[in-house]
Amino acid sequence: MLAAWQQEGIDTHHVSRLSGKLPGLYSVNVDATGERSFHYWRSESAARSLFSHALTDEQMESIAAENSLIFLSGITVAILPYESRKQLVNLLKKAKHNGAKVAFDTNHRPALWQAREGNNSDDARHWYQCILELTDIALLTFEDEQLLFNDQSVEDTLQRLQHIPELVIKRGSAPCIVKSGDDIQSVIAQKVSTPVDTTGAGDSFNGAYLSSRIQGSSPVEACQAGHRLAAEVIMHRGGVIPKEAMPVL
């Protein structure tokens, strides 16, 4: 895994390796329309020890000081124990104090919140709201907002999260909604015939969006890049496509 990340140009010097711990495991079942369902084996994964054993205080201070953008999803929050979630929120606060921006995708997976005693939808809402209060760029999926917050329309979501400067609401094959300041626009998704596997669609949109924004693209242009990459990814099995299949963003 480290070698694969490094081949993609990712700096791995903050990646810790814990003796006796393994990466989390999950299986993905894909139906005839390309939609997927998940089964998880993550209760003993190394990632759960991110704040309790993996990162030193010095490393956390370095992360808070060195980075201009920190991206995380609700999956990170879901797998962490209670005390580690508090440390995560404190890390984000320190990073923002140092000038960093926070990008967040709720990426809600109910099974992860139900996997341990005491975790439920109320718990998920509480922690998502803690992080959304610190978020500069929200990359959300409307289905998640409906499920968690009972939003009846995109307008409900926009109103509830009006404090977030930059907000994208993904809606599958329907146009996404992007809000930047007071400007709200709809960006048409790229059409595909029949998806092969929708695994990684949201993640690939997020990656292309943030990469485009870092390189100076407007929010609308970044959404277009996100749609292009997601449309390509769902035409391949698995969430990682061959390098030669990568579209020009």
Among 134, 130, 138, CA closest to 157:
138
Among 70, 114, 117, CA closest to 90:
70
Angle at 201 between CA 25 and CA 22, to 5 degrees: 15
Strand 69-73, strand 101-105: pairing? parallel
Amino acid at 8: E
Q: Indicate if 203 belongs to the active site.
A: yes
Single out the catalytic residue among 105, 144, 151, 203.
203
Do residues 59 and 67 lie in contact, with contact meaning Cβ atoms separated by under 8 Å?
Answer: no
Residue 109 three-state SS = coil
Do residues 134 and 97 lie in contact, with contact meaning Cβ atoms separated by under 8 Å?
Answer: no
Q: CA-to-CA distance for 226 and 103, rounded, in angstroms?
A: 15
Instruction: Provide CB contacts within 8 A for 78, sequence distance 6+.
Output: 109, 112, 113, 119, 124
The residues annotated with a catalytic role in the active site are 203
